[in-house]
Structure 1
Amino acid sequence: MVASRQDAWTDDDDLVLAEVTLRHIRDGGTQLAAFEEVGQRLGRTAAACGFRWNSAVRKRYDAAIAIAKGQRQQLKKNGRAVTAAVRTEFATEAPPSLPQSPPVVTPAATATIVPEMPEPIAGDTESELDAAIRVLMNQKELSRRVKQLEIELANNQMQLKEVREENQRLKKDMETVQDVNEDYKALVQIMERARKLAFLKEEESAKPVFKMDSNGNLERIE
């Protein structure tokens, strides 16, 4: 019986059409096969499914179509790589050899076949021990030197702290001396002004004083 549905397409029908078509694109199938599968599931003709895909559904799945095509290309590449690997493996595989009878081994031959164990070389062992001892001694000396440097660093930091504290103390003393110096200068200026005033008074008192008598003569007063 040929499918001949005439009802409208629903969103679920469009989703089935898109899923099946994208799967066929991804797996390397044809769109015609996809339309036939969708027609069988939805009770529609393959032509109706193809018309619906090209007219309304395809433009909504451009990104998904591009991804499906990329996956199809990747599957093709992987298939070619697997085929080439299998061919190479079969080409390089050695042909099976016929079983051979084990050789007859005589006691004399056995004696000659047994390999001799190499004796340890004393010089190499001693040199390795000497190198290990030197490494340990160098490590010990390095540790001792590091501890010594740490102690020196701690002492230097302590001395630096003391020098900074002494510097701060000297700065304060210098500020105090500067204040005293300013006070001393002010005192000297006051004393100088007082001395000048006293000298002027002495000069004024040392000047002779005269008075006029009844006869009109000037008379010096002591």
Structure 2
Amino acid sequence: MTSNRQDAWSQDEDLLLAEVVLRHIREGGTQLQAFEEVGRKLSRTAAACGFRWNSFVRKQYKSGIELAKRQRKESKKQPVPSPAREVKQPDVKHEVASADKKVEPQSSKVTLNGVIEFLEGLKDNLNQDKELESAYKKLEEYVGKIEQQLEKLKEENSVYKEKLELLEEDHQSLLSIFEKARKMALLQESDDKVKFQMDKNGNLQRLQK
């Protein structure tokens, strides 16, 4: 008799569970038989395997399930063997009987370790969902703050742009004044009798000595 495990499922165990279930679907078997097979290989209960399949693994193999069902349907369309070749009938009955016998000991475990493991798996999934939700809310808040900072920077950039335009105008005015002063100095050097004076608007006025 195998021991019952309560630890988390690994990726390899999920892969084995998916392969066995898909094979049973493809070959016309039942999922219960698949769960029992996986349970024997992994030392888990059939109920635990069923809970794991229905709560998590099945969602990852939707396309594989549809393909397995189509293959099973196509295999049923093949010609039925003649009565002379129907020798496997007793084996089928034996398999059904053995399957029925295997269900009984497992059914008593559904309300114990299997349910506990399933609930623990749900709890882990809920905790993960809560962590993702919390992280998403924090990300939203962070994005909101970044957007506010961006708007503030745009406003500051607009103000600095206006100041820069004013500085450029003042710079051009200074250059114009310096050019006029230079010309005035040249004129004074060439003619000592003539003097120039700059008014408040930056214009030169000629003064007689």
> Where on the TM-score scale, by shorter chain, does this alignment land: which range?
0.3 to 0.5
TM-score (norm 2): 0.40
* TM-score, structure 1 normalization: 0.38
Rg larger for: 1
